[in-house]
Structure 1
């Protein structure tokens, strides 16, 4: 029996004065962090939130995300993290599909109007009862009076469904809250992913999934309470949430929060706070390397003195980039692999063993992997096939989708949809994907989401979306469109139409208007023929 939020309680008790969060050069210790979480938890309970209720959370990397995330856990509810770039209709889908009864949403600004889109989605949701606005501009100074929400981004302060998260955190009458203990198999978070086909599905991860994955990551990284980790990956994403947030809170480390990846800011914060652990996707390392090469000097030398390990995931890092980064900052770069359905970390290059560039390493402790052919037979070392995973990290299932779950988790084995080979020493190499998922700059894009959105356009008869190579982002979404008879819309107009309805990382920037699409005899589009 345990609760993920007890990671914070433990540190507040044993090392309360130690720094927990660093944001804009301001620091929050574990005792204060726990108090703020307690205040938020008490207000959630006052709203009637009960164990197993679903609470959606959309917020960039700032202390409010951390406070809300663990407050939801304290009351025994389920956290449903949402991408801050989702547009209104996307928010509605996730709120309805997850049965969220409340939505904690960052107000944002003109550059990131998350509050505006969030409230738009909340207003259309069927079951969501409460909109809890995190005011922008007061993310760390939570003990100070908060700003009022932007009237264009959120409902009025007097609306019964509106609540000000900032004012919750100034309520000193609610400083104490005892975490509601949960069973190992109880759902902890619901992370949205595509599975193998179709629209985004909520992968239910248990308390045991999340705690065991954090413990495995801490052991992998040899992370201690004296270390300083950095969150440049978004915490609403499974990678940042488990490998960075939960692992740091488990270790009792300090965590530097970076709300938006800007190489100059990241380098400055690494230098200022003597960062020891950093994790990102390949595009981030490429950006950091380019900045270091152009502006390198004493700062880079000093950073290298403290940096212990750099972690890369989300996509394969070019071998040359990996080597250059290691040489420039005198630090080992370890690559790994995971899925939302595997909590997420499943394999990594281990620091104590040989690191093979291009490989995702070996399974974590307690995780088994095998490779099967089309008939389900295990293939010998070196042969290619689909990767299957079994262990403490395999999800509970897809929320409210037993048939999809049964197709993905068979006899305890998670079918990843990734084609791999495993060498004689147990190192795994990803060769290809069975899934249609596109990975753009570390973000997953599911073609079905784009296709369903565009099929609502009055001039479109048919659409197929694929991923194409991109120099900076790894992949880019490209759409092939057949127009209805007489339609005159241009590809440029379609791009703008998609931009208005899909998250900025998701909409296709490349659209070809075509006369026909390659199909099977049964009418299924042959996307492989479009590549």
Structure 2
């Protein structure tokens, strides 16, 4: 029988009832303080009719409230849906209509979103980040599976919403296994919880894992400015950083400009994007340790591979598979090429979801029975260490966050002066990649690069906004009339 998350976490909180469990706003919270906030949230939700199979959406920065709401929702048999507060109104509404929440909890006043929620008959309330909301009016919603714990919502490669449902068993397995196999981790360690909660890496590894496995966490609502993050790491004596490479770049740069350099960091775990070997050397010079690189996907709760220790790490790889995974490799025709140890990676195991939420078409496209197609082209050495060679899809990864070109293109093409738009990723020294847009103007209409970028800023999260725009009269086409995106990307990368 699978242990539910709230039961495992509640048992730990009771053990640590008088001990510190999380750092927030310049002070330590005990298990009792987080437990009492959870109980208050549970009562308010229950009084309003929230129950088994319901879903509660949260649009809040990292905070004690996100953790307390998650525990409260699970205790009532429901699921939590963390959503990016800066996703843009069209994307947010599309995701919310797909997951059909009982209500939406907002952490700050967002006038445009509040109006849109009301117009689409979605109920919502404002809440402090460390105290219960005063009231919430939920709405009837179609109940889902009771073992469903979290739905991570994102935009699919078609620009339409995609939702990844993860069960209690998925998340419990991933958190416990990562704790066991990162051999430097110990009970009592203090982890940095600054990766956004709508990012599965942050939610599971930095948020859930400490609560389940007896560690503490330093909760920050924002990574920026980096010098403040460094100051908090020092004051809270955080010794484990869960982070993406872009953040490491910002931290080392801040130290160069006079920010304090933490002396007690014993472990850095990096994921979300490829780790630059030169950056690892600089990180080791500053923090005394390099980074253990890992790899994961939201559909896998998320960790698939990780370098298990400094003694066993192989720079340039994402480490071996964590326990509980089976893997195979195919070519693009789905023919098995596992013996060649290079190809498109498929996985299955206890951490892997079984489907996309209420989307049989997308599910059929990526799942074959209980096998999941990661969409990544990899090489696996004789010791089982994985190297990510390329992405089969066109996803652009900006500072560890996925940007789906067709989502950006769909927004661009709502502008009256844009006839057609193609978005590709180009290399960037800090973020790894950034979007670039190729735009064909509507005949007879004028449009500047600045106007395109400002338009995107109003409708997209900041990391999805194209950094540059190039206007085209025609696009290169294949024999079937499909735009040859790879030629545009090659041309853009050559110029960058």
> TM-score with structure 1 length normalisation?
0.86
Instruction: Name the CA distance, whole Å, in 2 between partners of 1:63 and 1:380.
Output: 44
Within a 5 Å distance, the mapping from 1:263-412 to structure 2 comes to 263-295=226-258, 300=261, 303-304=262-263, 306-351=264-309, 354-379=312-337, 384-412=342-370
Out of 453, 464, 467, the position equivalent to 1:495 is 453
The answer on 1:186 being equivalent to 2:147 is yes
Tell whether 2:417 aligns with 1:459.
yes
Residue of structure 2 in register with 1:469 after alignment: 427
Between 1:216-225 and 1:92-101, the stretch displaced more is 216-225
Query: What is residue 208 of structure 1 aligned with on the other side?
Result: 169
Give the equivalent residue in structure 1 for 2:125: 132
- 118 and 38 in structure 1: CA distance in 2 versus 1, 3 angstrom threshold: farther
Q: Secondary structure at the match of 2:464?
A: coil
Whole-angstrom distance in 1 between the partners of 2:470 and 2:36:
54
Q: CA deviation at 1:290?
A: 2.2
Residue 48 (structure 2) aligns with? 47
Distance 1:458 1:452, change over 3 A: same
Shift of 1:198: 4.5
Give the C-alpha shift of residue 428 in structure 1.
Answer: 0.7
Alpha carbons 2:34, 2:68 under 8 Å: kept: yes
Classify 1:474/1:243 alpha carbon distance in 2 versus 1 (closer, same or farther; 3 Å): same
The answer to whether the aligner puts 1:250 opposite 2:212 as a matched pair is yes
1:15 alignment partner in structure 2: 16
Distance in 2 (CA, whole Å) between partners of 1:483 and 1:375 is 37
CA deviation after TM superposition for structure 1 residue 55, in Å: 1.2
> C-alpha displacement at 1:521, in angstroms?
2.3
Q: How far off is 1:395 after superposition? A: 0.9
CA RMSD after TM alignment: 2.1
**Residues in 2 aligned to 1:258 and 1:167: alpha-carbon distance in whole angstroms:** 23
Q: Which runs of 5+ in 2 are unaligned?
A: 137-143, 490-496
Q: Distance in 2 between matches of 1:97 and 1:487?
A: 36
> The residue matched to 1:467 in structure 2 has which SS?
strand
Partner of 2:479: 521
- Aligned partners of 2:232, 2:19: CA distance in 1, in Å? 18
Q: Tell me, in whole angstroms, the C-alpha distance in 1 between the residues paired with 2:120 and 2:31.
A: 36
Q: Deviations over 1:124-180 (max 9, x none)?
A: 334x2x212124xxx34x3xxxxxxxxxxxxxxxxxxxxxx43369xxxxxxxxxxx
Counterparts of 1:490 and 1:467, CA distance in 2 = 20
Q: Is the 8 A contact 1:8 1:34 kept in 2?
A: no
Q: Against the structure 1 CA distance between its residues 288 and 49, is the aligned structure 2 distance closer, same or farther, given a 3 Å change threshold?
A: same
Query: Which shifted more, 239-248 or 503-512?
Result: 503-512
Report if the CA contact (8 A) 2:13-2:31 is conserved: yes
Using the alignment, how far apart are the partners of 2:214 and 2:270 within structure 1?
Answer: 22
Q: How many residues align?
A: 479
Match of 1:428 in 2: 386
1:444 aligns with 2:402: yes
Task: State whether residues 87 and 121 of structure 1, in contact with CA within 8 Å, keep that contact through their aligned partners in structure 2.
Answer: no
SS in 2 for 1:61: coil
Whether the 8 Å CA contact 1:382–1:422 is kept in 2: the answer is no
Q: 1:200–1:446: 8 Å Cα contact kept in structure 2? A: no
* Residue from 162, 171, 178 that aligns with 1:217: 178
Q: Distance in 2 between matches of 1:122 and 1:428?
A: 43
How far apart in 2 are the matches of 1:57 and 1:292? Answer: 34
Cα deviation, residue 465, structure 1? 1.1
> TM-score w.r.t. structure 2 length?
0.91
Instruction: Check whether the contact 1:381–1:422 (CA below 8 A) recurs between aligned residues.
Output: no
Q: 1:337-382: per-residue Cα shift (whole Å, max 9, x none)?
A: 0111111111111117521111111100111222222233333566
**Which residue of structure 1 aligns with residue 492 of structure 2?**
none
8 Å contact kept, 2:155–2:162: yes
Tell me which moved more, 310-319 or 405-414. 405-414
Structure-2 change in CA distance of 1:220 and 1:120 (3 Å): farther
Q: Which residue of 1 aligns with 2:221?
A: 259
Separation in 1, partners of 2:156, 2:96: 18
Q: Secondary structure at the residue paired with 1:167?
A: coil
* Residues 478, 484 of structure 2: 8 Å contact kept: yes
Q: How far apart, in 2, do the equivalents of 1:122 and 1:443 lie?
A: 25
Gaps in structure 1 of 5+ consecutive residues: 109-114, 143-164, 170-181
